[in-house]
Amino acid sequence: MQKDLDNSKDKREEQHGQVGTMYQNWFLEYASYVIMERAVPYLDDGVKPVQRRVLHSMWELEDGRYNKVANIIGHTMKYHPHGDVSIGDALVQIGQKNLLIDTQGNWGNIYTGDSAAASRYIEARLSKFALEVLYNPKTTIWQSSYDGRNKEPVALPVKFPLLLAMGVEGIAVGLACKILPHNFIELIEASIDSLKGKKVDLVPDFPTGGVADFSKYNDGLRGGRIRVRAVIEKKDKKTLVIKEIPFGTTTSSLIDSILSANDKGKIKVKKVEDNTAANVEVVIHLHPDSSEDIEKAIEALYAFTDCEISISPNSCVILDGKPQFLSVNEILRLTALNTMELLKRELQIRLGELEENWHFSSLEKIFIEKKIYRNIEDCETWEAVMETIHKGLKPYKKLFYRDITDEDVVRLTEIKIKRISKFDAFKADEHIKGLEDEIKAVKYDLDNIKNYTINFYKNLLKKYGKGRERKTQISEFETIVASKVVINNAKLYVNRAEGFVGIGLKKDEFVADCSDIDDVIAFTSDGKVMVTKVADKSYVGKDIIHVAVFKKEQEENTVYNLIYQDGSKGAIMMKRFTIGGVTRDKAYDLTKGLLGSRILYLSVSTPEDGPTVIVKLKPKPKLRNLESIIYFGGQIIKGRGVQGNVVTKFPILKVVEASADQVTQLRKKQPDLFLPPSKEDKSQMKLEI
């Protein structure tokens, strides 16, 4: 019994292992299929399989006339097993890029995001450019389609950096690809430079135009980043017009982002109009009550809306049967070499065809001129005919590129009597001479294949480059600090006793206007300071003695003047300091941190100016001088962590700021008190900080 149970357990474990291995293999096969056959383009021709099948089907249907897109989709389904929707989407995307397909009908609008009309209403045909650079059955490697009934290309023999011209985006299992489109003219010029051994430095060019900062493009590899901005023109003091939009956005999504920013109070907009048709035109009417100037409004649009976006490229292609991450400049170099190799193969094929033509034309001329055909009249068997013709051609075999075969002789016997009777030796010589000249030219091109390829590119540029100038302006622009351009869309309140600050405490003490992206700085009586982000309600510590909107860029010119007691019975200290760098929501000690420490006086000033205060001591026997005068402007400005200087060790009654008259009198009586710190003091300050 136990033996049977053990055997059953072993069998189950074995089956479990087999099933686990099976699932593992299936997943790997699925992941490989998605990466290789759906999401990532091939370097050889720069297209995904569905795009290749669409273009191949269009070539099979090509007769110079437009075809219904529905017909193209149906024809492509012979090659693509994933349904008509994916085929139609791929076809529309290719057509909208205005390079490989001539379109007719409503193919959608890349500016507004409007989709194309139904496939039964729109038409397409291959462009002349596509017919010239995409197809050559003689150099194409073929494979069976998914059902084995048809042949489809493994890769199209593309003689152009199509991948970089069109761009591509795809997501696979654990792998993503995002190659941005580049300019047609610049690609050809860069291909020529690459063949000449010159360094190339490509940057994208977007069909929607805009202005882009490519300083961190990183050759299109992972980790790079492009910032793209809309082109915004000023119509008048309260009206802006967007003429070009960032790549990857539409006027609809752009307007939605503007309205969202307006709802959040980031900008003030009265109305937005979309007048886009053949060209982009989005009119923004600013609110007439808005106090911000038009330049600040433009910066706010860049900071808070899709008028500026970031794009992260990820250049990944299938090369040598596996995905590889290559820079766009390396892709261009390999594409240029591939074009040169394809042109070389075309020339070699053409040379072989010319030589075959010359070979048979010369055989035919000798066969007729030397009247060899008459020698076969007395032959009674086919073998005798073949032998007679071979014998008649034997004296001339040294004139030919190759041996005379039985197939050549059979072709000679198939020449019709009518052709023999009308044979013109002069025309035959002219034809052979033309073939010899063309053979010579082809051999020259093969010997100078690099120059031939360069001339091929130059011819493409001459024929198809007009109207394909760069659309995206290249620029470098600074990062806009959102806090500098955001309008004050909220009000800050404080509950000093309970220790809360926020924009939701509307029943408490008003502090200042602010925005919802600002920070708040708060000082409490126990000598602590904290910086926190504006929120509806935030706790910063009880007994708040000072609260304000914290602007980091303004803190360099903000100085805090402080008098505090060190512990419950400690000395009275003073210091003048700046806040410096802080971490949000962290409480910093401005005192030595002893229990019972408390702030006796705190004020805010500029570095150039400081308050004058009078420190009044509690009366005490034998204590004659009950007042001390402190001019903070004469003190050294240090960091917030410095302990400060001793004011007195006696208990303080109160600290009061001196009036203007008191300051005037003090300046007359004690002029040395108001002198600024010496150079030696400032040097010591740097060391202490």
Q: Which residues form the catalytic set?
A: 121
Residue 431: alpha-carbon gap to chain centroid? 56
Specify the length of the chain in residues.
Answer: 689
For 117, left (φ over 0), alpha (ψ -120 to 50), or beta? beta
What is the secondary structure of 22-61 as a DSSP string?
HHHHHHHHHHHHHIIIIIS-BTTTS--HHHHHHHHHHHHH
The tokens describing 585, both together, are 């929501």
For the chain, the distance separating the N- and C-terminal CA atoms, rounded to the nearest angstrom, is: 84
CB 510 within 8 A of CB 249: no
CA atoms of 653 and 623, how far apart (whole Å): 13
Whether residue 107 contacts residue 96, with contact meaning beta carbons closer than 8 Å, is answered with yes
Residues sharing a CB contact under 8 Å with residue 205, sequence separation 6 or more, in sequence order: 181, 182, 183, 186, 470, 471, 472
Helix (H) or strand (E) run with residue 647 in it: strand 645-648
Do 209 and 471 form a contact (C-beta atoms < 8 A)? Answer: yes
Residue 461: DSSP 8-state: H
CB 256 within 8 A of CB 273: no
Angle, helices 328-369 vs 449-464, to 10°: value is 110
615 in Cβ contact with 648 (< 8 Å)? yes
What are the two backbone dihedrals, phi and then psi, of residue 342, each rounded to the nearest 5 degrees?
A: -65, -45
**Alpha carbons 371 and 675: distance in angstroms, whole number:** 125
- Measured distance CA(339)–CA(156) in Å, rounded: 12
Q: 406-413 vs 328-369: helix axis angle to the nearest 10? A: 60
Exposed / middle / buried, residue 187 (Cβ in 10 Å: 0-12, 13-18, 19+): buried
Give the sign of the dihedral formed by CA 437, CA 442, CA 446, CA 449.
Answer: positive
Alpha-carbon radius of gyration of the chain: 42
With helix as H, strand as E and coil as C, how does 288-357 read? Answer: CCCCCCHHHHHHHHHHHCCCEEEECCECEEEECCEEEECCHHHHHHHHHHHHHHHHHHHHHHHHHHHHHH
